[in-house]
Structure 1
Amino acid sequence: MALAQAADNVNAVPSHIDTANRKNLALLIQLRWMAVLGQVVTIAIVHFGLRIPLPLAPMAMVLGALLALNALSHLWLRQHLHISSQALFSALLLDVAALTVQLYFSGGATNPFTALYLLQIALAAVLLPGRGAWLIVVVTCVAFVGLIGINQPLAVQPPTSLLRLHILGMFVCFVLGAVLLVIFISRMSRNLQERDTYLVELKRRAAEEDHIVRIGLLASGAAHELGTPLASVSVILGDWRRMPEISQNPEMLQELLEMQAAIRRCKSILSGILLSAGEARGEAPVVTSLHRFLDEIARDWSDGRPSGTLQYHAGSGALGEDTRIVSDPALKQVVTNLLDNAFEVSPGWVRLNAERRGDMLRIEVLDLGPGFTPEMLENFGKPYNSTKGRRGGGLGLFLVVNVIRKLGGSVSAHNRQPGGATVTVELPLAALEYREKDRG
């Protein structure tokens, strides 16, 4: 059941690409606020401090347009979950247009703040795909060339002071551009790195889920193939049981009964495999309680093993109020798999703890074995990561981690002192709780 939901869970994962674009657009909005503040301060210093007349009315209109654009961008960002590269391109293009208009009213290409075009190009190179970044380059180059012949020159008196002001302006522009580049591009690069990291993780999970599907198909096929010979052996054992030579021999009859019990156990295991693989759909879900579900796991696993091997602790105090759940064969197989692994390294003692913590179910499997190596802990849950030294080992824990992940939970492991290891499973009870819609 859990494996059949793999594709749906992948599609339900939020897009980290959109998340990165949202963060980057928010940074552009912050940068625009700083640009508005910087332009107000610069215009005030030049016009009132240096006594260089500027057309305040049209320049103030540009600042007002930037303020309105930022307010609308805030609202748009809050109402739209999907932020495309085209939206980032449009935001950068509007910033280039506003800068061009301000430069037109303040000397054109002679204004040292034309170097801020490079900041827009740098942002485009980080945020946009190749074609968008090159379009910003073309637009800024055309704007720069246009400002050479089309501008309102500054009325600087005496003219000899123009060079000094130009150098001073270049220095201020250099410092401003350097600070903004370090702050914003580093933050944008971090956003993009988080997106790339998520994509790598998503690809890894997709590969693991494909691996699980192939294992599930193999298990389902094997279960079907084994069903026929098991049925034949069951019929033969039934015929033998009616034979006088066996029915009248207590020792042989006891051995035959044990063989029939083993056959029934094998059939039960195969039925669980087929159910976990998504077959036997015609049956209604089996509703049980959390206490009974865990008790059955402990009892079934203990059958056939030495008495006292399993120390089971999951009383009503630990689990709290009993909850009706749907008996999930995949979860049962997960716990059984963990108990089997613990029994292999610690055949004399295995402990199973279960408790409820709020809305989470916590299951612990403890053993007295040698524990996990550092490499095992680092790669816990990855396929073929095993200390048993046999080919194909490690698939059990790999399936455990992925089944629990599909149910919305997590699996962790650590070594205990003075020896042994603990594997902990945590999953939300909402993934198991019985609802009326499950009846259909």
Structure 2
Amino acid sequence: MQPSFPFLFSGGVPVLPQHQILARLFWMRWATIAGELLVLAGAHFWLQIALPLPALLALIGLQVLINAATWGRMRWVSPAGQGELFLQLLLDIAVLSALLFFSGGATNPFVSFYLPALAAGAATLAWPYALALALCALAAYSGLVYFYQPLHIHDQGQAMAYHLAGMWINFSISALLITWFVTRIAAAVRSRDGELALARERQLQSQRILALGTQAAGAAHALNTPLSTVAVIVGEIRRDMAGNAALAPYQEDLRVIEEQIAVCKAALESMRLDADAQADRTAALGPWLATLIDGWRLRHPAVPLAADLRWEGAAAGQLQDLSQILLTLLDNAAHAIKARNADGEVRLSLAADDSAAAKAGRKTAIIRVADNGCGIAPELLARLGRMPVDSRSGGQGIGLMLAFAAAAHMGGRLQLRSAPGAGTVAELQFPVS
């Protein structure tokens, strides 16, 4: 079966993680073959060394066939096990031993070509396989000390110079191959560790959000009865005030209490909506934001809010997440203005994203919520949205934790910028249709 997945190289090496080690062995073998051909050409044409070219070229052709089989193996989904990787490296050592047998054995300056294969085995195999591979290489090297076809060099006076030059070339190639392979393996390990750490962090954050959601559901259930009781008491007070002129000045306070009770009941009612149906619904972004702002103004009638919703033609889904984020940001901005005890204003704007993501074909909206309140201290700003924190307004930072999680859930990003005394800007980027 041929899997349909993208390829990393034009030759067809798959990107799947289970083939990364095979891919590195594949390219290291090609580098070795290229080095062997260059050395063979130099020894034959430049140094005029008599070599059994048919046998050596046949062995290099065998390496090419092994690499072709490796390329075909990487087109399958199932990963290569330790035994298969051990066999691949053992074949490399066997072919190299045969090449050395026909070209001077242990006297060949390229005998340390065993080292890249051993380094690859030590980096990728379990210790029993790595030990077995090292013993096989040691046995082959020991055998080549006694069994080999000697090299016939016409210029015996330059034999030592040739040998030293070959050792230098061998060291250079081996060092480059080992460094390349080990650094790539180390980079893959670091990348995997980073992904595991990120996965653990996301899991812990999901557990926190789930716990907070459970607590919110319990709080909503617990608040329903007290709110109903307060509503009944307010209704009785209003009836008692109907014929009492002395209580007339409190009519406005009573009206405010009734409005706040209505807001609380509406919030509890919205929590009972079907979350999946709400998440799947799509609405025009501008009108939906206008409705959200009108509802928010009922909760904070004393806080001025200027809205710029001139961007038209965008529609958004996952409205439940978007509503939770924006209400949290607007509430925080209102609290910041009240804490400053001065004239202030909350500003909300909607605009299209003209960054690289938008140029790549992804339609993205940016909603900014800004205030000219008291601002946020740098040490507190670094922790907001990532962990519960105590703030001067008495909050715990849980709303922002939920907002950051909701932004990530809807494929967006939430950023906060602030300086003490200079206000705060919250910027939400998210995909739209």
Instruction: Give the TM-score category using the shorter length.
Output: 0.7 to 0.9
- The TM-score, its normalising length taken from structure 2, stands at 0.79
Mapping for residues 366-385 of structure 1, pairs under 5 Å = 366-379=370-383, 381-385=385-389
User: What is the CA–CA distance in structure 2 between the aligned matches of 1:134 and 1:100, rounded to whole Å?
Assistant: 18
Residue 20 of structure 1 contacts residue 191 of structure 1 at CA under 8 Å; is this kept in 2?
Answer: no
Distance 1:182 1:388 in 2: 54
Cα deviation, residue 254, structure 1: 4.7
Match of 1:422 among 402, 422, 425: 425
Superposed CA deviations along residues 271-325 of structure 1, whole A, max 9, x for unmatched, are 34454xxx6779996664322221122112222424561111112xx2x2153x5
> Does the alignment pair 1:321 with 2:324?
no
- RCO (CA 8 Å, sep 6+): is it higher in 1 or 2? 1
Q: Which amino acid aligns with 2:225?
A: T
State whether residues 29 and 70 of structure 1, in contact with CA within 8 Å, keep that contact through their aligned partners in structure 2.
yes
Q: What is the CA–CA distance in structure 2 between the aligned matches of 1:259 and 1:417, rounded to whole Å?
A: 34
Task: Give the letter for the 2:264 counterpart.
Answer: C
Paired position in structure 2 for 1:262: 260
Q: Which residue of 2 aligns with 1:404?
A: 407
Paired position in structure 2 for 1:192: 189
1:301 aligns with 2:296: yes
- Corresponding residue number in structure 2 for 1:436: none
The counterpart of 1:352, out of the listed 348, 355, 362, is: 348
1:369 to 1:116, Cα distance in 2 relative to 1, 3 A:
farther
CA–CA separation in structure 2 for the residues paired with 1:186 and 1:282: 49
- SS across alignment from 1:200: helix
Relative to structure 1, the CA distance from residue 84 to residue 201 in structure 2 (aligned partners, 3 Å threshold; closer, same or farther) is farther
State the match for 2:206 in structure 1.
209
| Alignment TM-score, normalising by the size of structure 1 | 0.78
Which amino acid in structure 2 is aligned with residue 364 of structure 1? Answer: R
Other structure's SS at 1:364 match: strand
Q: Evaluate the alpha carbon distance shift between residue 124 and residue 387 of structure 1 in structure 2; reply closer, same or farther with a 3 A threshold.
A: farther
Would the aligned equivalents of 2:372 and 2:423 in 1 still touch at CA under 8 Å? yes
Counterpart in the other structure of 2:285: 290
Q: Distance in 2 between matches of 1:80 and 1:349?
A: 61
SS at match of 2:204: helix
User: How many Å separate the matches in 1 of 2:262 and 2:185?
Assistant: 61
**1:337 aligned to which of 328, 336, 358:** 328
2:133: which partner in 1? 136
CA RMSD of aligned residues (A): 3.5
Aligned-residue offset at 1:363: 0.9
Give 1:59 deviation, angstroms: 1.9
* Alpha-carbon distance, 1:427 to partner: 0.9
Query: Which residue of the partner structure matches residue 362 of structure 1?
Result: 366
Mark the CA change 1:331 to 1:412 in structure 2 (over 3 Å): closer, same or farther: same
**Structure 1, 23-32 or 218-227: larger mean CA deviation:** 23-32
Contact 2:231–2:261 (8 Å) recurs in 1:
yes
Paired residue secondary structure (1:303): helix
Alpha carbons of 1:173 and 1:282: their partners in 2 closer, same or farther (altered >3 Å)? Answer: closer
The Cα shift of 1:418 comes to 9.2
1:422 is paired with a residue of what secondary structure?
strand
Deviation at 1:333, TM superposition (A): 1.3
| In structure 2, distance between residues paired with 1:199 and 1:82 | 22
Deviation at 1:216, TM superposition (A): 1.1
Deviations 1:119-157 (A, max 9, x none): 222233334454554443344334334444554443456
- Which segment drifts farther, 212-221 or 394-403? 394-403
Task: Report the 3-state secondary structure (helix = DSSP H, G, I; strand = E; otherwise coil) of the residue aligned with 1:51.
Answer: coil
| 2:365 partner SS | strand
* Secondary structure at the counterpart of residue 385 of structure 2: coil
Identity of aligned residues (%): 30
Q: Choose 293-302 or 304-313, whichever is displaced more.
A: 304-313
Question: Could you say which residue in structure 1 is the equivalent of 2:306?
Answer: 311
1:232 correspondence with 2:229? yes
| Aligned match of 1:246 | 241
- Cα distance between partner residues in 2 of 1:233 and 1:387: 30
For 2:127 and 2:329, the matched residues in 1 are separated by 50
Give, in whole Å, the separation in 2 of the partners of 1:292 and 1:355: 14
- C-alpha change, 1:368 and 1:31, in structure 2 (3 Å) is same
Structure-1 residue corresponding to 2:58: 61
Q: Is the 8 Å Cα contact of residues 410 and 425 (structure 1) preserved in structure 2?
A: yes
Residue 12 of structure 2 is matched in structure 1 by none
Aligned partners of 1:387, 1:283: CA distance in 2, in Å?
A: 32
Q: Which moved more, 1:380-389 or 1:339-348?
A: 380-389
Q: Cα 1:49–1:420, aligned 2, differ >3 Å: closer, same or farther?
A: same
Q: Distance in 2 between matches of 1:69 and 1:214?
A: 55
Q: Which runs of 5+ in 2 are unaligned?
A: 1-14, 339-343
1:82, 1:420 → 2: CA distance? Answer: 56
Query: What is the distance in 2 between the residues matched to 1:142 and 1:366?
Result: 74
Q: Which residue of 2 aligns with 1:433?
A: none
8 A contact 1:331–1:403 mirrored in 2 = yes
Given that residues 44 and 50 in structure 2 are in contact (C-alpha distance below 8 angstroms), is that contact kept between their aligned partners in structure 1? yes
Query: Structure 1 CA distance, aligned partners of 2:58 and 2:272?
Result: 71
Q: Name the structure 2 match of 1:176.
A: 173
In the alignment of these two chains, the number of paired residues is: 402
- CA deviation vs aligned residue, 1:322-365 (integer Å, no higher than 9, x gap): 53x55622321111111122222223211111123351121111
Q: Could you tell me how far 1:60 is from its partner in structure 2?
A: 1.3
